[in-house]
């Protein structure tokens, strides 16, 4: 056996086992990810919501202190964690409330408010929605951080399977045209060709989606790293300071942040004591105005007692990488054409995964190894015919 043959066999084993271990989970992720590409359209179709009042263009936003006060009237006994501008509807905002300032924000309720009139719109319970269930399955399988990290591991195996598949696929094409489909050969050879064609055409997309998916599973760890790194540095002088007895104006804090970071607009505010701020600050996160920069956030810390700017910095590279990977993973930054493209590529990935499982089952039945199946398709036909 030549060194090249031994190397190909090793790569074949890597491709086989990484694929087998991650395939079922990748199928689950592809199936649940498909409706998530169109989550906004699905929610609009399945769920009605109160529309904000129609106002003339240029109408100023309502005072945020009044808006917050109106929202909390519909959340007795609860406290605000975040104030969020609706990215898809500039006429609506969300107030995220929890049972206490230290409660788990993943259990928060969202109160939807009219941006211009400060009127209450609704407080939808999204936990029973189809898209919410798909999202939880896709991100952590309802298993929290452990589920995220496990799916991240499956994503790494998926990327290794893709790379090893390229290595294994290359020698089989020496005597065939690129992307050849042998329609007159036996079924298993046709399935092998379909698997190879779809797989090689999807290499770049699957690597991008797989790698960004892995990054997204580290989101909780990235937030913790930012908390104990940059955020701790920005608030070091306030570490021993008691929480403010009275909070400064929220509306003024947002204005101060917007003036400190010109060319950007508020995306959300984290209240003092929440996981994205200190006990002494409003953390106003601002975003850019282009499809790419709108995904990048810059925090401005406003002293919650005096209303003065404490610090503002660009996010570290690892946080920016996370911000960019999230929309890239779901293809939700280029409008409907990109969503349709992402959906088609997702379906083709399902084809690759299903054909891969089929080929493994057939090879196991016929006793033909992965290496021989790819390098000598004729051996497959003989084995299958005899089985």
Tokens of 5: 């043959």
Residues whose CB falls within 8 Å of the CB of residue 60, separated by 6 or more in sequence, listed in order: 116
Question: Nearest 5°: phi and psi at 257?
Answer: -65, -45
Length of the chain: 387
Tokens of 387: 């089985």
CB 83 within 8 A of CB 71: no
pLDDT in tens, 57-108: 889 999 999 999 999 999 999 999 999 999 888 999 999 999 999 999 988 9
Which of 69, 119, 73 lies closest to 93, judged by CA?
Answer: 119
State how far the Cα of 64 lies from the Cα of 42, in Å rounded to an integer. Answer: 30
Tell me which residue has tokens 């909780």: 220
Q: How confident is the model at residue 178 (pLDDT cuts 50, 70, 90)?
A: low
Q: How confident is the model at residue 366 (pLDDT cuts 50, 70, 90)?
A: low
pLDDT in tens, 221-237: 999 999 999 999 999 99
Residue 169, pLDDT above cutoff 70: yes
pLDDT in tens, 308-335: 999 999 999 999 999 989 888 887 777 7
Tell me which residue has tokens 């698997």: 195
Range of lowest pLDDT (69-73, 115-119, 193-197, 209-213)? 193-197
pTM (two decimals): 0.84
Range of lowest pLDDT (118-132, 302-316, 332-346, 357-371)? 357-371
> What residue segments make up the domains of the chain, in order of their start?
3-40+144-203+337-386, 59-128+218-330
State how far the Cα of 61 lies from the Cα of 84, in Å rounded to an integer. Answer: 14
């Amino acid at each position: 056996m030549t060194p090249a043959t031994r190397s190909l066999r090793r790569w074949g084993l890597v491709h086989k086992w990484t694929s087998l271990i991650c395939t079922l989970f990748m199928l689950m992720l592809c199936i649940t990810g498909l409706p998530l590409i169109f989550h906004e359209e699905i929610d609009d179709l399945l769920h009605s919501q109160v529309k904000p009042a129609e106002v003339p263009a240029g109408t100023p936003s309502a005072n945020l202190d009044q808006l917050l006060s109106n929202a909390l009237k519909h959340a007795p006994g609860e406290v605000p964690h975040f104030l969020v501008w609706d990215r898809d509807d500039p006429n609506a905002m969300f107030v995220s409330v929890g049972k206490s300032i230290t409660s788990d924000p993943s259990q928060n309720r969202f109160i939807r408010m009219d941006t211009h009139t400060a009127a209450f719109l609704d407080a939808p319970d999204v936990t029973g929605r189809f898209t919410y269930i798909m999202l939880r399955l896709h991100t952590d399988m309802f298993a929290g951080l452990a589920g995220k990290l496990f799916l991240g591991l499956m994503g790494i195996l998926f990327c290794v399977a893709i790379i090893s598949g390229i290595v294994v696929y290359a020698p089989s094409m020496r005597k065939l045209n690129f992307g050849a489909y042998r329609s007159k050969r036996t079924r298993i050879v046709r399935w092998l060709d379909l698997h190879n064609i779809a797989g090689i055409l999807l290499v770049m997309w699957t690597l991008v989606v797989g790698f960004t998916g892995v990054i997204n599973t580290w989101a909780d760890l990235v937030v913790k790293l930012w908390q104990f790194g940059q955020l701790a540095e920005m608030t070091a002088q306030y570490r021993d300071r008691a929480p403010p007895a009275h909070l400064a104006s929220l509306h003024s804090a947002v204005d101060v942040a917007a003036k400190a970071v010109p060319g950007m607009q508020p995306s959300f505010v984290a209240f003092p004591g929440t996981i994205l701020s200190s006990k002494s600050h409003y953390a106003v996160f601002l975003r850019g105005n282009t499809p790419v920069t709108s995904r990048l956030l810059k925090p401005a810390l406003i002293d919650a007692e005096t209303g003065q700017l404490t610090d503002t910095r660009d996010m570290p590279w690892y946080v920016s990488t996370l911000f960019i990977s999230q929309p890239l993973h779901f293809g939700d930054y280029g409008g409907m054409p990109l969503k349709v493209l992402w959906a088609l590529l997702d379906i083709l990935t399902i084809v690759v995964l299903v054909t891969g499982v089929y080929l493994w089952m057939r090879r196991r039945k016929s006793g033909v190894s992965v290496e021989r199946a790819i390098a000598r398709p004729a051996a497959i036909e003989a084995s299958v015919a005899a089985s």
